[in-house]
Amino acid sequence: MPKQKIVILDDDANTCDLIRLQLESAGYDSVCTFSGKEAISEIKEREPAMLLLDLTLPEMDGYEVLREVRRFTTIPVIMVTGRIDEFDRVLGLEMGADDYITKPFSPRELVARIKAVLRRVSSAPSSEDQQVVNLKGFFMNLLSHEVRVNNQRVDLTPKEFDLLWHLASNRDRVFTREQLLRHVWDYGDFLGDERTVDQHVKRLRRKFEDHSASCRIMTIWGVGYKFELLNGNWNPTQRRKLVESSVK
């Protein structure tokens, strides 16, 4: 089988070479790019399996690159950056990044996270009935990545979709944050930040509220989260109160 190609975008040549050598020793084909325009051109031409993206770049910063990449492809993107502020992490995830790793990083952990994301992307259900969730006022299609709430299309990032699919396809089942990190992010026990789950859940709840959803992601205190349908005819104010009461 051909090796999976990974595009590395980092304006520091030494860092880029270090990552490239680590990836090649792990069996991946990789290419270094040093500007946003170069990386975008490489992605359009080569259709790689993943982009590793630094934030601090000349001309276009990492957020601008991510915004442009998300306009034409849903390939996984892992941010690899020296910015450690929670704001940067949250913004990157909200814009569609699949993971966020801060420098300095462990090369082994970087490879483990890459493998985890690529395994998740390549996995697919085996039967037709596992590819659709169709409930009252709620519809998801795994193949087309379509989500509709009350017949209105809801736009989600790839990771938001994966998290919602896992919860909705296991309706009324409670998952801990650790379980969601393993199943959705494919992280082992030593990887992942539980706040990542919380941030994605909060964004999904806001989008559900915007569409007056007849379902919600419920917090089970001390345990985790579950997906459930709301009973009865709830007006927007009642839905908002329910959402706000389950956010934390």
Q: What is the per-residue pLDDT for 232? A: 47
Peptide bond before residue 2 is cis, with ω within 30 degrees of 0: no
pLDDT (tens digit, 0 to 9) for every residue of the chain, 248 residues total? Answer: 678 999 999 999 999 999 999 999 999 999 999 999 999 999 999 889 999 999 888 888 999 999 899 888 888 999 998 888 888 888 888 788 888 898 888 888 899 999 988 887 776 444 444 688 888 888 898 878 889 888 889 999 888 999 999 999 888 888 899 889 888 887 765 455 788 899 999 999 988 877 777 788 999 888 899 998 876 444 444 444 444 444 44
- Specify the DSSP class assigned to residue 4: P
Helices (DSSP H) in the chain: which residue ranges? Answer: 13-25, 36-46, 62-69, 86-94, 107-122, 158-168, 177-183, 194-210, 236-245
Dist. CA 115–CA 128, nearest whole Å:
26
b/e 112-128 (16+ beta carbons within 10 angstroms → b):
bbbebbbebbeeeeeee
Give the global pTM.
0.57
Separation CA 99–CA 111 (nearest Å):
12
Distances (CA, A) of 102 to 52, 82, 109, 148: 12, 5, 11, 35
- Sketch out the chain's domains with CATH numbers: 5-122 (3.40.50.2300), 128-245 (1.10.10.10)
Q: What is the pLDDT of residue 238?
A: 42
Residue for token digits 């493998």? 115
The answer to whether residues 117 and 187 touch, using CB atoms and an 8 Å cutoff, is no
Strand pairing partners for 217? Answer: 227
Burial 192-216 (b: 16+ CB within 10 A, else e): bbeebbebbbebbbebbbebebbbb
Are the C-beta atoms of 213 and 227 separated by less than 8 Å?
no
- Kind of pairing, strands 99-102 and 5-9? unpaired
Residues in the chain: 248
